[in-house]
Amino acid sequence: MSGKHPYQSLPGRAFWRRSMSEVTAAAVDPVSEVKFRIEKDDKIVTAGSCFAQHIAKRLKADGFSFLVTESGHPLLSPEDAKTMNYGVFSARYGNIYSSRQFLQLLKRIDGSLVPVEDVWEGDGRWIDPFRPQIQPDGFHSLAAYRKDRDKHFAAVRRAFAEMDVFVFTLGLTEIWRDRRDGSVYPLAPGVAGGRFDPAIHEFVNLGVSEVVDEMTEALALIREINPHCRVILTVSPVPLMATASGRHVLAATTYSKAVLRVAAEELSADDAAICYFPSYEIITGNHARGAYFGADGRSVTNRGVDHVMRLFFKHFSGLERTVATEAKMAAADRHSAEMEELAQANCDEEALDRG
């Protein structure tokens, strides 16, 4: 005879059978209560790893107020502007993979950090070590690089000052650090510019406490200029393109994502203005049986992004969109759209596996 126990009063979401086994994959909803709502006129800024690009794209497509403070020159065609990474994120910072890279950006825009290795020069081109693929073929002169970077910093400051909601996608724990001043690079020097020097550049794999500390400091800096902004943290479901940890890339991915997932939990646990959104779980969960990844097992398909964003809109804005509506919307050319999406997800780590 069983007595009362703590599980009796729990909602269906607490039980695997009721919330996973007995529902269709598309109906799985691992989002619990969110801490705040997003209105259509709330200005949203996104940053993070390449999965964050999908979020930005869908926010724009669904009529949310995606704040862009750094636009391309009016003479640039939309295609060229996109190639130059305008509009991919709110400002032209490119992919921000790690907590340390994010913290570093915040310190650079307020002038409290000036990295030792501030520019890479080669073949008459100047490359931003911290946005190495932002400008196709690099900048034509040092002055042009500096001018663009000043404009970029001003745009980042404006984005963070004006935003109502900040969506940050944590991507990686593996970083390459300059031993001289601790600056970190989104890509190892030598991959897309610069020259790798083992005496200067070292590999670091961040742990939970480092990610939590760095994000805490970064978010505190943001709140200094924007005390009321709400923050949504997500973890990118996209596996590592390559690892320098010495482990198998799958094991390294698991470590990295586990660290980021725990860090996100800690960061959001006791802060009413920080909410964790489980895009990682939606894409990688057992319900999807891998179907939300493309043939390479790494790229996230449009269908997966649909699921993530349907739940995002449902919980943060009350915007209900049924699975059937989505299917209808996408029926016109699902395959082409997915192929385009896959082809265009702009991850600079692709450079790691060239040649």
Shortest gap between Cβ of 155 and another protein (angstroms)? 13
**Calpha distance 9→12 (Å, rounded):** 9
CA dist., res. 94 & res. 70, Å (int): 12
* CA pair distance 318, 43, nearest whole angstrom: 17
Of 17 and 73, CB closest to another protein: 73
CB of 80 to another protein, least distance (A): 4
CB of residue 69 to another protein, shortest distance in Å = 15
Least separation in angstroms between residue 144's CB and another protein is 4
How would you classify the pairing of strands 43-48 and 65-66?
A: parallel
Q: Which is nearer to another protein, 18 or 140 (CB)?
A: 140
Amino acid identity, position 81: A
Q: Which one, 75 or 272, has the nearer CB to another protein?
A: 75
Between 84 and 241, CB nearer to another protein: 84
* Residue 90 CB partners (closer than 8 Å, separation 6+): 44, 45, 46, 47, 56, 66, 67, 68, 69, 70, 159, 163
Dihedral pair phi/psi, residue 21, rounded to 5°: -70, -35
Q: Which residue lies nearer to another protein by CB, 71 or 209?
A: 71
Q: Is the Cβ of residue 84 or residue 113 nearer to another protein in the bound state?
A: 84
The least distance separating another protein from the CB of residue 95, rounded to whole angstroms, comes to 21
Q: Which residues bind another protein (CB under 8 A)?
A: 73-77, 80, 84, 136-137, 139-141, 143-144, 147-148
* Contact criterion met (CB below 8 Å) for 119 and 127: yes
Sheet holding 165-170, edge to edge: 65-66, 43-48, 165-170, 230-235, 274-276
Comparison of 120 and 316: residue with beta carbon closer to another protein: 120
Residues 46 and 52: their CA atoms lie apart, in Å, by: 7
Q: For residues 86 and 276, which CB has a smaller minimum distance to another protein in the complex?
A: 86
CB of 135 to another protein, least distance (A): 8
CB of 57 to another protein, least distance (A): 22
Contact 133, 196 (CB under 8 A): no
Tell me the backbone φ, ψ of residue 213, rounded to 5 degrees.
-60, -45
Minimum CB distance to another protein, residue 76 (Å):
5
Q: How far apart are CA 224 and CA 160, in angstroms?
A: 10
- Contact by Cβ (8 Å): 164, 45: no
